């Protein structure tokens, strides 16, 4: 019980801090390889594990539904590898066979071909072998190999995500890097964060241009 209380108390604190652009969540580590112009960074991310949901893209409801499924997963709708073990996380909490998993940022969202995919990256202590199994079959765990990513950072509500993705692709043209797939968006803050304090990033997998 007390583990659950501390977990949700921490979430409340993180949400309060998040209103003002203060991020207390773990972020994936990366190595900065290069810059393209003033705004684009080329990063090398280590392997990660992502919890993903893909739903028909019906607008705001799809985003809300995807987020709720992923939030349910990290807050206990899962089967842990060892029921009573304490797990070292940002805040060490575990509830028997329902592990409470720390939130991380960013949240990755992409929409293509009439579907919406939302992805949470699990804390670095997890790999595909020890990550708790989702109870809901709509939540999938996927290993993300080490990857090189181009990013373009911007603030605001994120409603211009597609325009910023296009700017990123345009900025890469003629550089030493080329896009290897469709762009997507990384959101580091909650919707209630003051827009001018939000951190968003257009992102795309990249490789060296030939």
The answer to whether the pTM exceeds 0.75 is yes
Structural domain tally of the chain? 1
pLDDT tens-place string over residues 27-40: 888 999 999 999 99
Look up the CATH number of the domain holding residue 65: 3.20.80.10
Which regions of the chain does DSSP assign to beta strands (E)? 30-36, 40-45, 48-56, 78-79, 107-112, 115-121, 133-134, 140-144, 147-154, 177-179, 184-187, 200-208
Q: What are the φ/ψ torsions at residue 204 (nearest 5 degrees)?
A: -160, 140
pLDDT tens-place string over residues 87-102: 223 222 223 346 677 7
Q: Which domain holds residue 69?
A: 2-208
């Amino acid at each position: 019980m007390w583990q659950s209380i501390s977990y949700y108390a921490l979430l409340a604190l993180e949400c309060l801090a998040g209103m003002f652009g203060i991020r207390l969540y773990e972020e994936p580590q990366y190595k900065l390889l290069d810059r393209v112009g003033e705004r684009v960074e080329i990063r090398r991310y280590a392997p990660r594990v992502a919890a993903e949901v893909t739903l028909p893209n019906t607008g705001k409801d799809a985003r809300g539904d995807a987020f709720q499924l992923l939030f349910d997963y990290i807050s206990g709708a899962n089967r842990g590898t060892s029921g009573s073990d304490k797990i070292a996380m940002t805040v060490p909490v575990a509830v028997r066979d329902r592990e409470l998993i720390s939130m991380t940022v960013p949240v990755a969202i992409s929409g293509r071909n009439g579907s919406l995919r939302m992805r949470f990256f699990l804390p670095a202590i997890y790999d595909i072998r020890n990550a708790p199994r989702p109870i809901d079959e709509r939540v999938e765990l996927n290993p993300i190999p080490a990857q090189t990513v181009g990013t373009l950072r911007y603030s605001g509500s994120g409603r211009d995500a597609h325009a910023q993705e296009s700017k990123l692709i345009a900025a890469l043209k003629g550089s030493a890097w080329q896009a290897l797939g469709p762009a997507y968006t990384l959101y580091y803050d909650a919707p209630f964060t003051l827009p001018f304090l939000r951190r968003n990033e257009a992102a795309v997998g990249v490789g060296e241009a030939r």
